[in-house]
Structure 1
């Protein structure tokens, strides 16, 4: 994934600092969303299980974008800025995308190849957790297998709150999921 991350970073590199002081904040937010955020979110589900170095490199780009929008110096902490622009950290963005794929796959709104990877948990006997909307997590032997969609997404789904998993429509699911990850991150 190192090459993918490097390409994403190079695509996000731009020099908007020179004109940013002339732009109002809403315009800067639109430009940053068009140039940076869209590229950080593109295929970011593939980053599940990638190294901490790759995540840190992408997080630096996100921090720079937040500082640009808020006109904050580099010496200031970026956490309050990310909270103010309401952005999730990169790891939470990846988890958000995985959970979204699982939600769609469980409702047959995803491509068939993703729906086939989602296996509802069916215990041999009926415990109290039988109706918890759980997914079967396949046993793995390597860390590379742990990063596969079937394993990583199922583990993530099983750790979500029941209120989020049983949400009726996609819009409210996204809202609850983002709120959940936002509380975890900040």
Structure 2
């Protein structure tokens, strides 16, 4: 989170000049300054504390209010919906699931491909044909947050139509729509 340290200061500085800029320019600047930093290595944030997620969500909400010139008292949920931005939790899950898709199709580094194991039951079950991944048991919270476990858990909860997608572009589009429809109301704290 080192690159995020100065982000609130950058937003404050940008706010001072934002009223002189048209909305498309503001969106471009915010994407360059804020969104790129929120998305950088965010797959590592899977399972992090609610405090860290809340801090990042607060930054995203502030950026949305800056673009739309909304007062701080306004709820961020409609603003995120208007901008087609996913909450931080969904962005983390999205990144993990994209890595999982690439690993399953051998389009990722070998070390990630080796961590993704298709589910093969010992006897004939209906779940054998559902494109499931094997979720290994762990004894620690850190183990549950590892790529192999997190990827399999998230993948197994996806609808079959998304899991059986034949190319990465369509997969990303369907996945983003799935998160947008089912998780836009996940934002835990709307008033920052």
Bucket of the pairwise TM-score, normalised by the shorter protein: over 0.9
Scaled by the length of structure 1, what TM-score is found? 0.95
- Structure 2 portions without partners, runs of 5+: 185-192
Partner of 2:42: 44
Tell me the CA shift for residue 185 of structure 1. Answer: 1.7
Paired residue for 2:136, among 135, 138, 153?
138
Q: For each residue in 1:103-156, what CA deviation from the matched residue of structure 2 results, as whole angstroms up to 9, or x when unmatched?
A: 000000000110010000010011111111000000011111000000011000
- Structure 1 portions without partners, runs of 5+: none
Q: RCO (CA 8 Å, sep 6+): is it higher in 1 or 2?
A: 2
Paired residue for 1:149, among 133, 141, 147?
147
Whole-angstrom distance in 2 between the partners of 1:68 and 1:26: 12
Moved over 2 A (4+): none
In structure 2, the residue corresponding to 1:124 is in which secondary structure? coil
Whole-angstrom distance in 1 between the partners of 2:5 and 2:154: 30
Paired residue for 1:10, among 1, 5, 11?
5
Scaled by the length of structure 2, what TM-score is found? 0.92
RMSD of aligned Cα (Å): 0.8
In structure 1, the residue corresponding to 2:5 is in which secondary structure? helix
Partner of 2:55: 57
| Conservation of the 8 A alpha-carbon contact between 1:9 and 1:61 | no
